[in-house]
Amino acid sequence: MKPLVKNTAKIMMFLLAAIIITGGATSCKSKKKLAREKSAAEYTMKVEQAKRDLTAMLNGTTNWSLEEQDNRLNVIKSYNIDDDEVIDLITKVESKISMDKAEAERKDEEDRLKREEDEKIKDAAAKYEEFDNQLNAISKSTTIDAANKKITLSLEQFATPDVPVLIIISQYGGVNDYDRPTTISKFLNYLKDKKQYQYQVESVKRDGLGKITEVELIKK
């Protein structure tokens, strides 16, 4: 009887050990399976999010700056996603960002040149502001005598009363189109009669004595 009890106890111990070992192995396999499933799910989510972001950047429907788009693109590329659609989208977005950068640089340069041109115009206007005021004052004179006195004073700045006055009526591609030329004497008397000054001094040439030898005006 005792040997039977001992054998039964041994069998039970072996069965228990087998159950523990089998359970442990099953548990280990379950954890690995769960880890694989989680990894696969995360990868799928990453791929789908990458597709959404790349499509939005391609369509221009994000509010991201070019720098932010570039950063996001680099993050997506770092995933090394093996998906044909994502790979194609990456190529297209890279091309779009490259073109957008070139356009932004072109616009920045255009804005810079425009600012420089505006500054030049502003400086030129300030440079000849006093002369413009003189011409405007002649046109605004209330009497003929007052206008004639201002004309006489103004002519003292010129080499001769016949100094040419060139009036720009249009500008295109850096080329000026001029009205019929006149002289400073005729122009000042024209302002006296017209009683309106609708010009701005564009340039003035002087001789070695500082006397004006040519005036270029532009119609406002």
Q: Which pLDDT belongs to residue 11?
A: 61
What burial class does residue 73 get, using C-beta atoms within 10 Å of its C-beta: 0-12 exposed, 13-18 middle, 19+ buried? buried
Decide if 99 is inside a domain. no
What burial class does residue 50 get, using C-beta atoms within 10 Å of its C-beta: 0-12 exposed, 13-18 middle, 19+ buried? buried
Decide if 202 is inside a domain. yes
Q: Which of 125, 113, 112 is nearest to 174 (CA)?
A: 113
Decide if 117 is inside a domain. no
Q: Which pLDDT belongs to residue 23?
A: 53
Decide if 84 is inside a domain. no
Decide if 214 is inside a domain. yes
Query: Mean pLDDT of successive 10-residue segments in the chain (220 residues)?
Result: 54 58 58 75 91 95 95 95 94 95 94 90 82 96 96 97 96 88 96 95 94 94
Q: Which pLDDT belongs to residue 20?
A: 56
Query: Which domain, by its residues, includes 214?
Result: 128-219
Decide if 205 is inside a domain. yes
Decide if 67 is inside a domain. no
Decide if 40 is inside a domain. no
Domain count, the chain: 1
Give the amino acid at 116.
E
